[in-house]
């Protein structure tokens, strides 16, 4: 970080490089509170979210129609605003990871991570040597179009800024929880509650909340053991307080679609009296 936590890092010369402020905040022990971006396409939504006090936006490509071109627009503005986005790709593979990083995304939210082998592939695709085998895309938004920083210094900086969260969404994935949590290059752990509940056979049943909380507790314990971040999705202030107090520091509250729907529904109920 630059002086007083400024979102730039100086090299030995005069050039400054952008810093991933979400990662920097987590490393300082500061909880990072964001929301899912699933519907709004206008990049100005990032400025609105920052002004509202959020720390980041998590953009979903797995379950939306968002394209790589729109992600590229969001990533450039995110860097200019120093308001980071995290992106959940359609699939956590080398192709998608490479493309997202090359358009300037710092934070990856990787779905359907089934085992330690898959986690290792994610690390390999997201980090340059010696941590991994990320391909070099040359001058781009990912380098801020700055050709003055020496190649190896730029790669080392990128390795320090990338932040990878892996999602545990099946019972099988938890067999490798300890190995994945211990892996260098895996920065945060979380569950995908809907898919996990389906895989556990408890979706829509009275046992769903208990079963998912057991898995959340396993995530928290593994994160504490290995010095990683625990991430949680929450839908209320009470849930936010509960999981924050339990040790989760990367928290996504609701989504743009839910916030808009609930806000309009509440307003119309008062206005129309029904």
Is 269 in a helix, a strand, or coil? helix
pLDDT digits 0-9 by tens, 75-105:
999 999 999 999 999 999 999 999 999 999 9
The predicted structure's pLDDT at residue 15? 56
pLDDT > 50? residue 14 = no
**Which segment of 135-144, 200-209, 249-258 scores lowest on mean pLDDT?**
135-144
pLDDT at 2 over 60: no
Q: Are 255 and 35 in contact (CB under 8 A)?
A: yes
Tell me the three state secondary structure of residue 168: strand
Q: Is the predicted pLDDT of residue 129 greater than 50, yes or no?
A: yes
Rounded to the nearest integer, the mean pLDDT of the chain is: 94
Catalytic residues: 63
Could you read off the pLDDT of 194-207 as tens digits, one per residue?
Answer: 999 999 999 999 99
Distances (CA, A) of 197 to 109, 111, 156, 260, 271: 19, 15, 39, 26, 38
Domains of the chain: 3-272 (3.20.20.60)
Residue tagged 């990083």 (tokens): 101
Helix (H/G/I), strand (E/B), else coil: 251: strand
Residue ranges of E strands in the chain: 8-10, 16-18, 32-37, 56-60, 85-88, 107-110, 163-168, 188-191, 229-234, 250-255
Band of residue 63 on the pLDDT scale cut at 50, 70, 90: very high
C-alpha to C-alpha distances, 76 to 48, 82, 170, nearest whole angstrom: 16, 10, 34
DSSP state at residue 41:
-
pLDDT number for residue 7: 66
Asked if the model's pLDDT at residue 32 lies above 70, the reply is: yes
């Amino acid at each position: 970080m630059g002086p007083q936590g400024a979102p730039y890092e100086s090299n030995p010369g005069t050039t400054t490089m952008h810093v991933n402020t979400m990662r920097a905040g987590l490393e300082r022990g500061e909880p990072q509170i964001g929301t899912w971006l699933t519907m709004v396409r206008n990049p100005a939504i990032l400025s609105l979210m920052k002004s509202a006090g959020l720390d980041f936006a998590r953009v979903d490509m797995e379950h939306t129609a968002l394209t790589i071109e729109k992600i590229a627009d969001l990533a450039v503005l995110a860097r200019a605003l120093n308001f980071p986005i995290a992106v959940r790709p359609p699939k956590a593979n080398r192709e998608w990871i490479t493309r997202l990083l090359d358009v300037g995304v710092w934070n990856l939210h990787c779905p359907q991570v089934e085992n330690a082998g898959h986690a290792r592939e994610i690390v390999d695709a997201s980090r340059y040597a010696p941590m991994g085998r990320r391909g070099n895309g040359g001058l781009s938004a990912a380098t801020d179009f700055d050709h003055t920083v020496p190649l190896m210094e730029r790669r080392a900086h990128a390795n320090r800024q990338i932040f990878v969260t892996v999602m545990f969404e099946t019972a099988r994935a938890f067999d490798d929880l300890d190995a994945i949590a211990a892996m260098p290059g895996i920065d945060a752990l979380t569950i995908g509650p809907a898919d996990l509940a389906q895989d556990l056979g408890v979706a829509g049943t009275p046992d769903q909340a208990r079963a998912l909380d057991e898995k959340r507790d396993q995530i928290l314990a593994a994160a504490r053991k290995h010095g990683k971040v625990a991430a949680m999705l929450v839908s209320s202030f009470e849930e936010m307080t509960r999981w924050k107090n339990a040790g989760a520091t990367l928290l996504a509250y609701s989504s743009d679609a839910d916030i808009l729907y609930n806000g309009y529904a509440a307003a119309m109920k008062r206005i129309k009296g029904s």
